Structure 1
């Protein structure tokens, strides 16, 4: 979740220091438990008086347990250090936002609940002074200057808020990595992290993006993986944004994603894949100046998807493949400036789907076919704009008593690509006209 101005201004960061101390004490206690276990269990049972297969098995598990106590100490101490760094860094950045707001207000700029600054200095003038101001020959330029400076304050505040959000995301990445055991030491995957890093600057870095260039082809890619992880979150209502509320819970066994591209103008190839296993559920609702929406959904099981796209100038083809095994249910409805959507689904079993289509100059058409093994039903309709600004109309229906499936189609319009295609066409016409005109002129 991206932090907004109100989140940053009202956040109470003091508990981070207390929680950090609690984690430090827990780490010390794990160290004591490791010492006690090795002294009173592992060493005593390994004195040679007990022999045989059972003894060997016990010693193997005892070594793993002792290792996990040490790993638990390492992980707890790393988290304690990360929380201390987080408290220091987030407090500093939060103060920077508050200082900006205070400076703006001291210079007669009012900052609203969304971080937008407005000049109110003229409001302090008397009625006579206001009258004189309105009849000043430079009134328009004075108002324009006030708006420009107010926008400057708004931009600076937004930049400071973004810095807090980026630091918050860094803390999230660092804590997730600290609690992720990817080694086979101890009890293997899923134990405590014996390699946890407690330095926020190091552990909180974004996953690196790779970029290479070979024989004219430029490649870019990035990957991400997490889990096991358990968590919940509840937010709202937010009177500033109009969001009524949001609740989410998950118990992830693991999730991973990767995406990349190859470009050699005018050819571009793109691909993306992701997988998830676990249990998750969410409920959201909101009423804003952009519309009204509500969604609820749940999944228990695993799902994976892959999609790819190839473009050659204005012509492109795309495809998607998805599989799911488990149980899922959901309902959604919404309407606003970016379109509308409505639908619901419930399914238990396994299903797979394929989608393919073609895009010409920013206008695309495709179809979806799904096969279901298990009972379920679905009806969905989407007409709206996605996060990348592409408008999409996509109805889909399906039913399955035991074996069945779903079918759907989609029409997409990318205004940016349409505009680019129109510009390219206009340039081509202009070049042709210039060539014809040049040819006619040369005749004379």
Structure 2
């Protein structure tokens, strides 16, 4: 949620200091618990009197528990430090907003509940002074200057409010990262974060979105990561949109995405990768003026994908690679103005797939091959338009009693690229005709 002027002016930041102190005490207490656990449980049971498989297993879990006590201390103290920094920074920035408002009011400008400044100095004048002011030859210029200054105050206040909101967003990012455990130490991913960063300036930085230019190549890129996370949602029915209902639930260990591009004149290289681990399931259905659709799916395990594309003018090549380990099941069907799709699949084990193709002037042809290690079956057919307006025809079938796979092909048509290619071709023909005409004329 973006903070507005009213939020900033009315926020009570004092509890942040109290909460920071509570987190510090919690961190210190976790440290004491770690020492007590190592002394009275881990060390006592490891005195040599107990041997065997059960002892080895107990010591393994005891070491993990001791580690998590230490990790809990590190995480709690990091959060305490972040909250202390947040209290200091947000208080400073809030004061800057209030100081601007006070300065504006001292100079006869009123600031309303939305942070907009208006000049009200003439309200304090007597009737005689107002009459003289209205008949002053410079009156229009004076009023114009007052409006310009009022807009200046409004802009300065808005900028100061944005600074508070940006700081608030950085605190949110820092706290989320401090509680995210991505290591396999202790009980593994999802425990306490032993490496939590307590410096707000470092932990609150936004994910970088880069744009650089070297030797004619221009690059763009961004990345995002999240998890662990657990959640669910249920919506519908909605008679207005035609949705019968949607339901989703997930228990994510983690997910990450990254994408980027390189451009140099007519040549462009695109790449994107994504990875997920956890459990998720969803179901949805609807009937709208664009058609009807229904789908359901579930995954328990991990999946990853990578895709890339290279274009040089109207010619392009593309490739995709996907892999999955775990169990999944999907069913889908739909029909509407953007095409039809139907199919289903069920699989348990591990599989990988490769897709490659060529695109010429907006018309592409490609093929897909999958290898499966585990029982499963799949039959899918897609004929429709995606979110980017590209039409796609892609059937795929596969079966595996133990070892097997699937084969498929796809034909894509991008109307926008086709139109651009046709336009370029028409221009080229026109240019050629002009050259011929000029040549003939020069010979006469």
- Taking structure 1 as the reference length, the TM-score comes to 0.65
Change (3 A) 1:197 1:433: farther
2-side partners of 1:371 and 1:183: how far apart? 31
* Aligned-pair CA distance for 1:232: 1.8
Query: 3-state SS of the aligned residue for 2:294?
Result: strand
Please state if 1:37 is matched with 2:30. no
> Kindly tell me: are residues 443 and 333 of structure 1, through their superposed partners in 2, closer, same or farther at Cα, counting changes over 3 Å?
same
Shift, 1:333, TM fit: 0.8
Q: CA deviation at 1:31?
A: 4.3
* Cross-structure match for 1:181: 181
The whole-number CA distance in structure 1 between the counterparts of 2:327 and 2:41 is 47
Alpha-carbon separation, structure 2, partners of 1:30 and 1:277: 31
Q: Deviations over 1:153-200 (max 9, x none)?
A: xxxxxxxxxxxxx9x999996775343124688777543246367979
Counterpart for residue 195 of structure 1? 196
Shift in alpha-carbon separation, 1:61–1:403, aligned structure 2, 3 A: closer
Question: How many angstroms does 1:51 deviate by?
Answer: 8.2
Q: Deviation per CA, 1:103-153: give whole Å up to 9, x if none.
A: xxxxxxxxxxxxxxxxxxxxxxxxxxxxxxxxxxxxxxxxxxxxxxxxxxx
In structure 2, distance between residues paired with 1:442 and 1:366: 49
Q: 1:227 aligns to what?
A: 227
User: What is the CA distance between 1:366 and its match in structure 2?
Assistant: 1.0
Q: Which residue of 2 aligns with 1:301?
A: 301
Q: Which residue of 1 aligns with 2:280?
A: 280
Task: Find the counterpart in structure 2 of residue 346 from structure 1.
Answer: 346
Following the alignment from structure 1 to structure 2, what is the Cα–Cα distance between the partners of residues 44 and 374?
Answer: 47
Q: Does 1:336 align with 2:336?
A: yes
CA RMSD of aligned residues (A): 4.4
| CA separation of 1:179 and 1:274: change in aligned 2, threshold 3 A | same
**Structure 2 stretches of 5 or more lacking a match?**
2-12, 51-58, 88-112, 115-165
The 1:40–1:173 alpha-carbon spacing in structure 2 relative to 1, beyond 3 Å, is closer
Contact 1:75 1:179 in 2 (8 A): no
Residue 67 of structure 1 is matched in structure 2 by 70
Unaligned stretches of 5+ residues in structure 1: 4-16, 85-98, 101-165
- Distance in 2, Cα, partners of 1:294 & 1:37: 52
Matches of 1:186 and 1:312, distance apart in 2 = 50
Contact 1:172/1:204, CA 8 A, preserved across alignment = no
- Partner Cα separation in structure 1 for residue 416 and residue 65 of structure 2: 62
Q: Which protein shows a greater Rg? A: 2
Q: In structure 2, do the counterparts of structure 1 residues 277 and 189 end up closer, same or farther at CA, with 3 Å as the change threshold?
A: closer
The residue that corresponds to 2:405 in the other structure is 405
- Between the aligned partners of 1:348 and 1:45, the Cα distance in structure 2 is 41
Aligned length: 347
Aligned equivalents of 1:363, 1:429: Cα separation in 2: 21
Contact 2:379–2:396 (Cα < 8 Å) also in 1: yes
**C-alpha contact 1:362 1:416 (8 A) present in aligned 2:** yes
Q: Which residue of 1 aligns with 2:311?
A: 311
* Offset of residue 360 of structure 1: 0.7
> For the structure 1 residues 44 and 333, does the alpha-carbon distance in structure 2 shift closer, same or farther, using more than 3 Å as the test?
closer
> 1:80 Cα shift?
8.9
Offset of residue 314 of structure 1: 0.7
How far apart in 1 are the matches of 2:41 and 2:347?
Answer: 52
Q: Deviations over 1:14-47 (max 9, x none)?
A: xxx9xx9xx9898578447426526865688999
Displacement of 1:288: 2.1
Helix, strand or coil: the match of 1:241? coil
Q: How far apart are residue 341 of structure 1 and its match?
A: 0.8
Counterpart position of 2:415? 415
Deviations 1:397-429 (A, max 9, x none): 111222222111111001111111111112112
Distance 1:179 1:327 in 2: 29
- Summarize the Cα distance change of 1:441–1:274 in structure 2 as closer, same or farther, 3 Å threshold: same
SS for the counterpart of 1:180 is coil
Distance 2:325 2:244 in 1: 32
CA distance in structure 1 between the aligned counterparts of 2:307 and 2:437, rounded to whole angstroms: 47
User: Which whole-Å CA distance do the structure 1 matches of 2:342 and 2:65 have between them?
Assistant: 55
- The 8 Å contact of residues 395 and 408 in structure 2, kept in 1 or not, is answered as yes
Structure 2 SS opposite 1:70: helix
In structure 2, relative to structure 1, the CA distance for the partners of 1:38 and 1:237 (3 Å cut) is same
Paired residues of 1:316 and 1:359 also in contact (CA < 8 A): yes
1:392 positional shift = 0.4
- Within 5 A, what are the aligned runs for 1:78-97? none
Residue of structure 2 equivalent to 1:132? none
1:25-424 matches, within 5 Å, as 27=23, 30-31=26-27, 33-34=29-30, 37=33, 64-74=67-77, 176-182=176-182, 189-193=189-193, 195=196, 203=204, 205=206, 207-424=207-424
**Contact 1:382/1:395 (8 A) holds in 2:** yes
- What is the CA-CA distance between 1:293 and the residue it aligns to? 1.2
Distance 1:232 1:188 in 2: 24
Alpha carbons of structure 1 residues 427 and 381: separation in structure 2 relative to 1, 3 Å: same
